[in-house]
Amino acid sequence: MKRNLIEDGINYLKYVRKNKGISVPSEYLKNIEIEIPDGKSGTIEMAAETHKKEYKEKLPGTNIVRDGGALSLIKEDWMEVNNIPSLDEKINKCSKCPLHATRKNFVFGTGNPKADIMLIGEAPGAEEDIQGKPFVGRAGKLLTDILKAINLTREEVFICNILKCRPPENRNPLPEEIVRCEPYLLKQLELIKPKFILCLGTFAGQTMLRAKEPLGKMRGKFYNFNYSDLSAKLMVTYHPAALLRNPNWKRPTWEDVQLFRKEYDKEKEK
Ligand code: SF4
């Protein structure tokens, strides 16, 4: 235990040195028993600023190595769980960001907890908020059809979002919300250990890749996504809701998912 605390402390100091001037909420530091003089502790807003700075002007190379960022130092009991249902149980009352106040339902994600493939969208919309499930309604039906076209079912894969609660009026998620919610997604990735990740939409792609590029530049290729002991092939394509608005994007999406399926088959044959 003591050894872990010392390692956490060292990791934190390394993190601060790497990201000069960046701090994290005092309560997290207290949890790992690092003493901070009164009034010198950081805030979630500062962590969000760091998060924004992490985004690159140009797409990173195909090898993406992610860490948990400043908030990897949080010590909370949900971090100790070792399966997906327990994680859901531990976090579904979350009130870490203002979105908890306006949500009807927390949307954890659905599907196979041991899936080889994970689909990640942006955040729940109106229908998802009502039903507590990701990708339902018209966009959800289109996603089911896209999966079917490449011989996959929703039950085989795991589907979730970057944010677990609906932003009002479906506005874009704010950096503060991502900073607070993303650790849950990283834990989902750590537990499910997918071999393939399909990001649906610009926002999901940019968040996972820490990129600022438009979707057209991110799509159509694979990135190696590494986090903790997870190593997965990641691809970005259009969000089904965008395809409903602009049917011209259906063809590139079809090309992407075919490529995705092909690569998945190759991996299965190994
Ligand atoms: S969006 Fe995420 S961080 Fe915010 S309240 Fe919901 S679960 Fe918690």
CATH number assigned to the domain comprising residue 212: 3.40.470.10
Residue 7 resides in a domain? no
| Count of domains forming the chain | 1
Residue whose C-alpha is closest to residue 122's, from 139, 145, 146: 139
Binding-site residues, ligand 1, Cβ < 6 A: 94-97, 99-100, 163-165, 177, 180-181
Q: How far apart are CA 200 and CA 109, in angstroms?
A: 14
Q: How far does the centroid of ligand 1 lie from the alpha carbon of residue 267, in Å?
A: 34
- Nearest-CA residue for ligand 1 atom 3 is 181
Q: How far does the centroid of ligand 1 lie from the alpha carbon of residue 223, in Å?
A: 27
Q: Which atom of ligand 1 is nearest to the CA of 92?
A: 7
Q: How far apart are the first and last CA of the chain?
A: 40
Residue 45 resides in a domain? no
Q: Containing domain of residue 261, as a range?
A: 60-269
How many CB atoms neighbour CB 6 within 10 A? 12
Say what the pLDDT of residue 66 is.
80
How many CB atoms neighbour CB 24 within 10 A? 26
pLDDT digit string (tens) for the chain, length 270 residues: 445 555 555 555 555 444 444 444 444 444 433 333 344 445 666 667 777 777 776 777 788 888 765 556 667 899 999 999 999 999 999 999 999 999 999 999 999 999 999 999 999 999 999 999 999 999 999 999 999 999 999 999 999 999 999 999 989 999 889 989 999 999 999 999 999 999 999 999 999 999 989 999 999 999 999 998 999 999 999 999 999 999 999 999 999 999 999 999 999 888
Residue 23 resides in a domain? no
Q: Which of 92, 97, 103, 179 to mutate to test the pocket of ligand 1 (most atoms within 8 A of CB)?
A: 97
Say what the pLDDT of residue 190 is.
95
Residue 40 resides in a domain? no
Q: How far does the centroid of ligand 1 lie from the alpha carbon of residue 220, in Å?
A: 31
Say what the pLDDT of residue 129 is.
97
Q: Which of 44, 89, 106 to mutate to test the pocket of ligand 1 (most atoms within 8 A of CB)?
A: 106
Q: How far does the centroid of ligand 1 lie from the alpha carbon of residue 134, in Å?
A: 15
Say what the pLDDT of residue 155 is.
97
Q: How far does the centroid of ligand 1 lie from the alpha carbon of residue 137, in Å?
A: 22
- Nearest-CA residue for ligand 1 atom 4 is 97
Say what the pLDDT of residue 44 is.
63
φ, ψ of residue 123 to 5 degrees: the values are: -165, 160
Residue 14 resides in a domain? no
- Nearest-CA residue for ligand 1 atom 1 is 165
Residue 253 resides in a domain? yes
Q: At what angle do helices 250-269 and 137-149 cross, to 10 degrees?
A: 50
Q: How far does the centroid of ligand 1 lie from the alpha carbon of residue 175, in Å?
A: 12
Q: How far does the centroid of ligand 1 lie from the alpha carbon of residue 147, in Å?
A: 28
- Nearest-CA residue for ligand 1 atom 2 is 181
Distances (CA, A) of 159 to 55, 91, 188, 200, 214: 24, 17, 11, 10, 23
Residue whose C-alpha is closest to residue 165's, from 123, 200, 133: 123
Q: How far does the centroid of ligand 1 lie from the alpha carbon of residue 187, in Å?
A: 14
Residue 24 resides in a domain? no
φ, ψ of residue 117 to 5 degrees: the values are: -125, 130
Residue 95 resides in a domain? yes
Q: Which atom of ligand 1 is nearest to the CA of 103?
A: 6
